[in-house]
């Protein structure tokens, strides 16, 4: 059974960089059939796609966040990571990692999510 687990600091100061890692177990991140993505959800609000990565390293980002986002993959560790720079309170959210199909629309496996609060 595929499992995804987010890890990283739960509190980040304004203007600093948010860094999260998603560890994939029970399957290989190097599968050619999937993308690996980050989706966030501010408290009490809806879902927002942040970006996705293919095992080869090809990346796709939400244009509204593109200037601040970097997603990378480490196939040797079966992990992929998110960096979001210059964070503000508006970046406070539950951050999910997920396995996505080839169109990136269907996400069939999700991590449990991790709340990241931006506050001084």
Q: Which residues bind other proteins (CB under 8 A)?
A: 37, 46-49, 52, 60, 62-64, 96, 101, 103-108, 110-113
Cβ at position 76, least distance to other proteins in Å? 26
For other proteins, the closer of residues 16 and 27 by Cβ is 27
Q: Where are the beta strands (DSSP E) in the chain?
A: 3-7, 11-12, 18-25, 35-41, 48-53, 59-61, 69-74, 79-84, 93-100, 107-110, 114-118
CB nearer other proteins, residue 6 or residue 79: 6
Distance in angstroms (rounded) separating the CA atoms of residues 51 and 44? 21
Of the candidates 41, 45, 21, 43, which has an alpha carbon nearest to the alpha carbon of residue 95? 41
> Least distance in Å: CB of 97 to other proteins?
10
Residue 15 or 112 with smaller CB distance to other proteins: 112
Least distance (Å) from other proteins to the CB of residue 47?
4
């Amino acid at each position: 059974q595929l499992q995804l687990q987010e890890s990283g600091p739960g509190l980040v100061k304004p203007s600093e960089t948010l860094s999260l890692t998603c560890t994939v177990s029970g399957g290989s991140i190097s599968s050619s059939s999937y993308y690996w993505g980050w989706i966030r959800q501010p408290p009490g609000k809806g879902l927002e796609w942040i970006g996705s990565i293919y095992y080869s390293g090809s990346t796709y980002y939400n244009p509204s966040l593109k200037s601040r986002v970097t997603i990378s993959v480490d196939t040797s560790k079966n992990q992929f990571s998110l960096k979001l720079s210059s964070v503000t309170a508006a970046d406070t959210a539950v951050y999910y990692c997920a396995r996505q199909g080839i169109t990136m629309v269907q996400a069939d496996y999700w991590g449990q999510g991790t709340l990241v609060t931006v506050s001084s």
